[in-house]
Amino acid sequence: MNKKITIKLSQTSSRNYNILIGSNLQNELLKFLRVQKNIRNIVIITDSTVEKLYGEKMVTNLESSLPKAKTILNLFSFPAGEKHKTQSTVSRLQDHMFAQKCGRDTLVIALGGGVVGDVAGYVSATYMRGIPFVQAPTTLLAMVDSSVGGKTGVDTKYGKNMVGAFWQPLAVFADVEMLKTLPKEHIRSGLPEAVKMFVTHDKKMFEYVISNREKILQLDLDVIQKIISRAVELKAGVVIRDETEKNERKVLNFGHTVGHALEKLSNYKLLHGYAVGLGMIVEARISNLLGKLSDTEYELIEKTIVDLGVKTGDIKKFEPKKIISEMSHDKKMQNGEVQMVLLNGIEKVCKKHGKWAHFVESKVIFEALE
């Protein structure tokens, strides 16, 4: 059965949106598009891999079902992979849209993983100062995390997601059937972001992941749908309370301070999810070294992440000094200091003086990395 979660961002309904999670959602997307007012152009933005798997099918489906006289349909794609999450990709896509005379009556559909969602979201946020967009995530990572909450943007030579905007989608359609074609390494890479939600917010679901590990890795869609639904429900709560990351939303960066540095140092060969998985192990270890997280809970977190396919040996490929130096470019820095989310326990994020992210001395980070 499909699950619907609503993000309520305003008292009026204008900025609220639904996230639909389920199977075969093409008709739901069509129903949604049919009732959109003042939309003349629909632009599907996707990457080279998803274009062949689902993009062309989506074009055929929409072409045959939407009134021709009313809608002009375009599909634009860019080469798959984090390396293409750049300003030049955004410019190229926007130039295609200008060339096709897409006006402010255009709606963008982001069809793909987190890279497509972040790029297409940023294209939409900045095209003619902002046009509406819809997220149609096709990876596990995008379904559990990136398609929800309105963070959009690109990487620069100075680091991950350094340029971007908060720009909320009009709706999210997460069709779990699409995960059947996703390579296993990308299923595994989506899991750490779900574990992040549960380790910070929901001990029972954290335990559910542990006891259903085999089913998850074998892509049992009932189990996967339950995991996506709960992760999104929890994320929705955080986004509603702190949409633009003034404070509480920082909790969703658990594992990312170290993770982003690793991703960048690997020249984006290390997938985002694995980097976050390694980052969570290091940041949990920091919490443990600071006397906040017990040995037992730290070891359980590490084992869970490793059992889902993250290899701790990968971190040895990077010199601790370089990781710490890379972290100094992180946009989560405050007053020139590295800020981190720390755990007092599973489901217990450290909140001190009303703050959810904290300064950690380099020597402690160094010790944890060692």
Check residue 240 for interaction with ligand NAD (CB under 6 A): no
Decide which of ligand NAD, ligand GLY, none touches 181; Cβ closer than 5 to 8 Å per partner kind.
ligand NAD
Query: Hey, how many other C-beta atoms are within 10 angstroms of the C-beta on 132?
Result: 18
Nearer to ligand GLY, 89 or 146 (CB): 146
By CB neighbour count within 10 A (0-12 exposed, 13-18 middle, 19+ buried), where does 241 fall?
Answer: exposed
Selected from 84, 188, 249, 260, the binder of ligand GLY by CB under 6 A is 249
Binding mask 111-150 for ligand NAD (x = CB under 6 A): -xxxxx-x-------------------xx-xx--xx--x-
DSSP H or E segment with residue 364:
helix 362-369
The two beta strands, 159-166 and 151-156, are antiparallel
Tell me the three state secondary structure of residue 105.
Answer: coil
Check residue 340 for interaction with ligand NAD (CB under 6 A): no
Give, as ranges, the residues between 262 and 291 that touch ligand NAD (CB under 6 A). Answer: 272-273
Give me the catalytic one of 37, 68, 70, 129: 129
User: Is 16 one of the catalytic residues?
Assistant: no
Give, as ranges, the residues between 3 and 62 that touch ligand NAD (CB under 6 A). Answer: 47, 49-50, 53
Percent composition of the chain: helix, strand, coil (DSSP 3-state, to 5): 50, 20, 30
CB of 151 to ligand GLY, least distance (A): 5
* Segment interacting with ligand GLY, rule: CB under 6 A, options 52-60, 145-153, 176-184, 261-269: 145-153
C-beta separation of 258 from 278 below 8 A: yes
- Rounded to whole angstroms, the Cα distance separating 24 from 261 reads 37
Among candidate residues 76, 64, 2, 56, the one with its CA nearest the CA of residue 33: 64
- Rounded to whole angstroms, the Cα distance separating 244 from 149 reads 9
C-beta separation of 318 from 286 below 8 A: no
- Rounded to whole angstroms, the Cα distance separating 114 from 190 reads 10
Selected from 21, 25, 252, 357, the binder of ligand GLY by CB under 6 A is 252
Check residue 263 for interaction with ligand GLY (CB under 6 A): no
Chain contacts with ligand NAD (rule: CB under 6 A):
47, 49-50, 53, 80-82, 85, 112-116, 118, 138-139, 141-142, 145-146, 149, 151, 160-161, 178, 181-182, 186, 189, 193, 272-273
**Catalytic residue annotation:** 129, 151, 193, 235, 245, 249, 253, 256, 260, 272
Chain contacts with ligand GLY (rule: CB under 6 A):
145, 149, 151, 249, 252
